[in-house]
Structure 1
Amino acid sequence: MIVFRYLSRELLVTLSAVSAVLLVIIMSGRFIKYLAQAAQGLLDPSVLFLIMGFRLPGFLQLILPLGLFLGILLAYGRLYLDSEMTVLSATGMSQRRLLVYSLAPAALVAALVGWLSLGLAPQGIAEVDRLLNQQDSLTEFDTLVPGRFQSLRNGTRVTYTRELSEDRTELAGVFISETNLSSATGEERGLSVLVAESGRQEVQPDGSRYLILSNGYRYDGNPGQANYRAIQYDTYGVLLPKPEVSIELSEREALPTSELFGSDDIRLQTELQWRLSLPLLVFVVTLLAVPLSKVNPRQGRFLKLLPAILLYMTYLALLIAARGAMDKGRIPVAVGLWAVHGLFLAIGLLMLFWEPLQLQRRKRRARAEVAHA
């Protein structure tokens, strides 16, 4: 029991550290992407942290199996390097017993991953989808940030305001630049620039919104040419476009797991197998990692790390490929993702029993040579 607690503590501590690093890396990249969209006025900055929070279960369900895999390699590799595992082997610790000890923390991780993949992750994606639907009702006026140029419509429209009231109803010091495109060819046909002392939002009965500018000028022309036209106005209305939020989400990923059971839709059956595969992935990678963690102290603890990571990436890539093939009906549902799990389960069992089988073969050969002599 003392050895079990020691190994479990080493494994869980390493797992937590590795998973935390991976989570920070992945979430930082996603947050930068969402932050760029907020800076362009495509997202309301106030919902950024909500979106990241709701996407967190989806990140963790993929990070935790990899964190456990790397945790076993690093934690047990250190024990082999420090000859602690040699001492444990002398007291009867075999690879199979080490695997049994490792399956206990792996079961905790699998339970957590199952909770995330079957429950929290779909709920989080549904909440993100709800937030994005709310963003679709926003206009340029709602996401405007004072003192910042915001690019919309793929960079063909740039808006700026010097001041914005707290209730977001009044603007001061307005600048709008828009590139005029041909409806037939999409080619640029000049530039229109609007400047105004103030502006306000006005909602029409059909739901469209306009920015009503007061006391300003409109300039039309082509950059580099002297044929600009200047118009002074007292009141001018500008239609406010809706931001186009580009966050890739799948409708089936937001469905509760209970709705996937018993469905005849191949896409929904594929989604169900994917969600069930993630907890199963935890046990298979544990089986793979235990024999791969055994290293020679003279070779260093990182010798097998790169081949092990490549093996894990191959495993995950085959799961994703099988998922895509199931969506297109190229793989029967009965085979599905289970064939990939079965393949790597067989690889893990082969690695686990290969060394004992080789040892028994050498012993039989030695006994045969002694008997023959």
Structure 2
Amino acid sequence: MKLIERYIAREISLPFTVVILILVGLFASFISARLLAGAVTETLGVSALLKLVFLKTLIALEVLIPIALYISVIIGLGRLSRDQELNIIRTMGVSGTRIVLTVLTVAIPVGLISGMLSSYVRPWAYAESYILDAQAEAELNTNRFQAGRFYGSEKTGRVVYVRSKNDTDKEMQNIFHYIKKKEGSEIVIAKQARQIQPSAKEERPHILLSDGVVYELSKTASIDDVIQFEKMTYFIDSDYVLNYRRKAATTRTLWESAQPRDIAELQWRLSRPLSAILMALIAVTFIRISPRQDKTERTYLAAALVFAAYYNLSGLARTWVEQGVVGSIPGVWWLDLLMLTGLGMYALLSNKKRLFARTQ
């Protein structure tokens, strides 16, 4: 790569590094605040919370990376345009085509990285996050409970309250446990409880309850059951079943499937590299080689609108394939073909304008 091309590539790469770090930091902060607001720390623990933030950030990289590339191209070439450096580069014999090719030397590797993340890292991150979510819903781990607080789950319909707790001997006093069931609901009230760790691998973890009452509330029966107990063992359902999740499925599994939803997910993953490269090329069109006046704010606004429209249409294209409105061919690719056609027409019109200007 020649000196001029390296210079242009550097003007794009440096903003890309800064922007992607800022976006990752903002996204991680947003996810952390959201999970903390949802009391995930109390349900899973701090280490699991940090892992979940990391996983969700990995998942978001397939979108954050194209955004960072798109912004960096506009910032880098925009600065060169405002400082008239692009005009000087043109007078040195560097054509617009060479500038576009230089942008592609940055966009193609970034697009390939985005594709690898989407095809391999993203499914793994989804699978791990689903496991953490399932653990949060399935486990009743008293070690994470704090006294005087309610712990609930909308999915399982479970509510737990512990009035006091001794962390030294793992004993709890005045326990309230509510669980919603298909046939009704169950309420367990006990004076004391202690979580017992299993002595053998095949034994499930359980909680030993003392001096309590069980209320079995039925939707169908006319009389509810009330059971008093001195000692009761409450087993913790630590086994959880993960249903098939296409976002967590391997790319090879999706490739072998004929289901429309699986096809849509597969095509979405495979289209990420092309999407990143397309957005970089679209960003180039917002930079005028010889601007007569600075229109930075207008350019940024138009670029933001185009980016938002493109990603909304991408989601719509995937939904159409999932619902069978559009077949596997053209699938989600029709939008990319439309964008490529638009870029090609823009290039032809630009060349015609230049030829017409030279003949005048």
CA distance in 1, matches of 2:233, 2:301: 58
- CA-CA distance at 1:316 after TM superposition: 1.1
Pick one of 199, 209, 219 that aligns with 1:212: 209
Pick one of 343, 358, 368 that aligns with 2:338: 343
CA distance in 2, matches of 1:135, 1:194: 22
CA distance in 2, matches of 1:18, 1:265: 38
SS of residue matched to 1:252: coil
Q: Which amino acid aligns with 1:322?
A: A
- CA-CA distance at 1:101 after TM superposition: 0.5
- Describe the shift of the 1:238–1:149 C-alpha distance in structure 2 as closer, same or farther (beyond 3 A): farther
2:104 matches 1:106: no
- CA-CA distance at 1:22 after TM superposition: 1.7
Q: Which of 201-210 and 266-275 deviates more? A: 201-210
Aligned residue for 1:151? 151
Answer yes or no: is the 8 Å Cα contact 2:137–2:153 preserved in 1: no
SS of residue matched to 2:298: coil
Answer yes or no: is the 8 Å Cα contact 1:73–1:292 preserved in 2: yes
- CA-CA distance at 1:65 after TM superposition: 0.8
- CA-CA distance at 1:135 after TM superposition: 3.5
- Describe the shift of the 1:263–1:179 C-alpha distance in structure 2 as closer, same or farther (beyond 3 A): closer
CA distance in 2, matches of 1:305, 1:250: 41
CA distance in 1, matches of 2:247, 2:130: 10
Aligned residue for 1:171? 171
CA distance in 2, matches of 1:234, 1:268: 51
Q: Which amino acid aligns with 1:261?
A: W
Q: How does 1:112-261 map to 2 (within 5 A)?
A: 112-139=113-140, 141-144=142-145, 146-147=146-147, 149-153=149-153, 157=159, 159-165=161-167, 170-172=170-172, 174=174, 176=176, 196=191, 198-201=192-195, 209-210=206-207, 212-213=209-210, 251-261=245-255
Answer yes or no: is the 8 Å Cα contact 2:207–2:236 preserved in 1: no
- Describe the shift of the 1:331–1:138 C-alpha distance in structure 2 as closer, same or farther (beyond 3 A): same
- CA-CA distance at 1:30 after TM superposition: 1.9
TM-score (norm 2): 0.79
- CA-CA distance at 1:102 after TM superposition: 0.6
- Describe the shift of the 1:39–1:69 C-alpha distance in structure 2 as closer, same or farther (beyond 3 A): closer
- CA-CA distance at 1:297 after TM superposition: 6.4
Larger radius of gyration: 1
CA distance in 1, matches of 2:338, 2:229: 74
Aligned residue for 1:36? 37
SS of residue matched to 2:247: helix
SS of residue matched to 1:253: coil
Pick one of 288, 294, 302 that aligns with 2:297: 302
Pick one of 345, 353, 356 that aligns with 1:358: 353
Q: Which of 7-16 and 135-144 deviates more? A: 135-144
Aligned residue for 1:230? none
Answer yes or no: is the 8 Å Cα contact 2:114–2:273 preserved in 1: yes
Pick one of 323, 328, 346 that aligns with 2:318: 323
SS of residue matched to 1:302: helix
SS of residue matched to 1:152: strand
- Describe the shift of the 1:148–1:62 C-alpha distance in structure 2 as closer, same or farther (beyond 3 A): farther
* Alignment coverage as a number of residue pairs: 336
Answer yes or no: is the 8 Å Cα contact 1:213–1:235 preserved in 2: yes
- CA-CA distance at 1:24 after TM superposition: 1.9
CA distance in 2, matches of 1:172, 1:207: 20
- CA-CA distance at 1:55 after TM superposition: 2.8
CA distance in 1, matches of 2:11, 2:276: 18
- CA-CA distance at 1:60 after TM superposition: 0.8
Aligned residue for 1:2? 3
Deviations 1:45-68 (A, max 9, x none): 331112222333311111111110
- CA-CA distance at 1:328 after TM superposition: 0.8
CA distance in 1, matches of 2:286, 2:126: 36
Q: Which amino acid aligns with 1:212?
A: L
2:289 matches 1:288: no
Q: Which amino acid aligns with 1:170?
A: K
Answer yes or no: is the 8 Å Cα contact 1:81–1:297 preserved in 2: no
Deviations 1:295-344 (A, max 9, x none): 73632433211111111111111111010110111101111111100111
Answer yes or no: is the 8 Å Cα contact 2:204–2:235 preserved in 1: no
Q: Which of 81-90 and 131-140 deviates more? A: 131-140
Answer yes or no: is the 8 Å Cα contact 1:61–1:278 preserved in 2: yes
Unaligned runs of 5+ in 1: 187-191, 218-232, 367-373
- Describe the shift of the 1:48–1:297 C-alpha distance in structure 2 as closer, same or farther (beyond 3 A): farther
- Describe the shift of the 1:250–1:340 C-alpha distance in structure 2 as closer, same or farther (beyond 3 A): farther
Aligned residue for 2:91? 90
Answer yes or no: is the 8 Å Cα contact 1:15–1:71 preserved in 2: yes
TM-score (norm 1): 0.76
Answer yes or no: is the 8 Å Cα contact 2:118–2:269 preserved in 1: yes
CA distance in 2, matches of 1:5, 1:124: 35
Q: RMSD in angstroms over aligned alpha carbons?
A: 3.7
- Describe the shift of the 1:308–1:277 C-alpha distance in structure 2 as closer, same or farther (beyond 3 A): same
- Describe the shift of the 1:76–1:297 C-alpha distance in structure 2 as closer, same or farther (beyond 3 A): farther
Answer yes or no: is the 8 Å Cα contact 1:288–1:351 preserved in 2: no
- Describe the shift of the 1:340–1:179 C-alpha distance in structure 2 as closer, same or farther (beyond 3 A): closer
Deviations 1:132-169 (A, max 9, x none): 3443441152431x356133155994624544436xx6
Answer yes or no: is the 8 Å Cα contact 1:81–1:300 preserved in 2: no
Deviations 1:149-206 (A, max 9, x none): 133155994624544436xx623555649799xx88x9xxxxx99795x531369999
Unaligned runs of 5+ in 2: 214-227
- Describe the shift of the 1:77–1:297 C-alpha distance in structure 2 as closer, same or farther (beyond 3 A): farther
CA distance in 1, matches of 2:252, 2:166: 47
CA distance in 2, matches of 1:128, 1:25: 20
Q: Which of 318-327 and 128-137 deviates more? A: 128-137
